[in-house]
Amino acid sequence: MKKADMREAILKELVSSNAGILRVYGVSFGVGYDLVIDLEFKNVDMNIHAHATNKSWALPGYLRPDNPQYKYTGSNDRYQYRVINYWKTKDALDEYLSRFQKPELEEFYNKVVKH
């Protein structure tokens, strides 16, 4: 099965998606966010870890998984609501899944579609 077909099948199963900001970072290119995404599919619920930067708001994994919690006080932190709203659309999950290699995508597909 092609990756595009697997992504399409996964997206058909998606009922809702909600993002929460776990950490905010000041980075050399602006601001970065570590996210927890709650996904509700027709037959299974799961949460995934993602991060957002100025280049993409749907990147797999955390930006800085081993950094301690700290208070970011910079002026570039104005995109949180837009990132959260983006993850309410199917486009965000589609972009996220498009970054997977085929074996990773097959594993995700098996959890959601072949459940």
Domain ranges of the chain: 3-112
Q: DSSP H helical segments within 14-101, as ranges?
A: 80-86, 90-98
* Torsion of Cα atoms, 52 then 61 then 93 then 16, to 10°: -100
For the cut 90, the answer to whether the pLDDT of residue 65 exceeds it is no
The type of residue at 113 is: V
Q: Looking up tokens 């459940």, which residue turns up? A: 115
Q: Give the angle 32-73-58 at the CA atoms, nearest 5°.
A: 15
Give me the pLDDT at residue 54, please. 86
Give me the pLDDT at residue 76, please. 67
Return the higher-pLDDT residue of 79 and 82: 82
